[in-house]
Amino acid sequence: MAAFEVHFRPMRVSDLEEVRALHEEWFPVRYSYSFYDAAVRERMVGTNEPLFTLIAEVDEDDRRRIIGLPAPLFVENETSRVMYVLTLGSHARYRRRGIARELLQRCIARAEAEPACGAVYLHVITHNDVAIQFYKSNDFECLGEISDYYRIDGSLYNCFIYAYYLPRAKIVTSMMTSTAPRATRRLLSSTLSSLFPAALRSCFRSPAVPSKQQQQQQQQQITATSEAA
């Protein structure tokens, strides 16, 4: 492939149909139209919380073509904040050229710009070895596994939780002089239910809603892993 220049920018309303088509092509989980309509307006459907949007595009066939995009948002409580990366994908023709890595690093940089943000986290289906190695290579840590998290074409699949702790959280943890990392861990363990309220879950066509027991299992795994670190 010839050399190309990548341009980065926020989503625009005019991107809606192209973003929707790319999601349908790249990801097995299906979203409703309202999800994309809110995303291109930089809002989270159901909660109207600010959504940090980012597009990677190149000049191709006399037009700009979207080749990569993440969908991260901030989740917070009274004492801490984390960034959750809902999706991250890139076009097959442009993979293994650093696009996804650059998008992820820009998400991390955006999280680092938030004083209260302690971590960036996401979910990965357990059989996606390529994605798992990608996040490990970007210093994400596996915090645990959730059973039956995804429902795809009528079947249930487990997922791993991966998190990247921002430098400020690691420094404070090593000095043991603040409760901020503990607050971040508590927030990470509680976001599964708070991030997906009923209004948000309705944007999924076939959601797998974790049971209370599965949520408790996630909390125990996160706490145990964090305390051992």
pLDDT the model gives residue 39: 83
Residue 10 lies in a domain: no
Residue 73 lies in a domain: yes
CB 7 within 8 A of CB 56: yes
Residues in the chain with pLDDT < 50?
A: 171-181, 184, 191-212, 214-229
Residue 89 lies in a domain: yes
The encoded tokens of residue 104 equal 């992820």
pLDDT the model gives residue 92: 84
pLDDT the model gives residue 127: 93
Residue 175 lies in a domain: yes
Structural domain for 187, as ranges: 69-228
CB 64 within 8 A of CB 76: no
pLDDT the model gives residue 108: 94
Selection from 118, 126, 122 nearest residue 141 by Cα:
122
Residue 3 lies in a domain: no
Which phi and psi (to 5°) does residue 168 adopt?
-65, -35
Q: How many CB atoms lie within 10 A of CB 85?
A: 23
pLDDT the model gives residue 104: 94
Interatomic CA distance for residues 202 and 57, integer angstroms: 30
Helices (H) and strands (E) in the chain, counts: 8, 7
Residue 140 lies in a domain: yes
Residue 102 lies in a domain: yes
pLDDT the model gives residue 220: 47
Q: Angle formed by the axes of helices 212-228 and 180-195, to 10°?
A: 160
pLDDT the model gives residue 105: 95
CB 94 within 8 A of CB 68: yes
Residue 52 lies in a domain: no
pLDDT tens-place string over residues 143-189: 888 888 888 888 899 999 999 988 765 544 433 333 344 554 555 55
CATH number, residue 221: 3.40.630.30
Q: How many domains does the chain have?
A: 1
pLDDT the model gives residue 57: 94
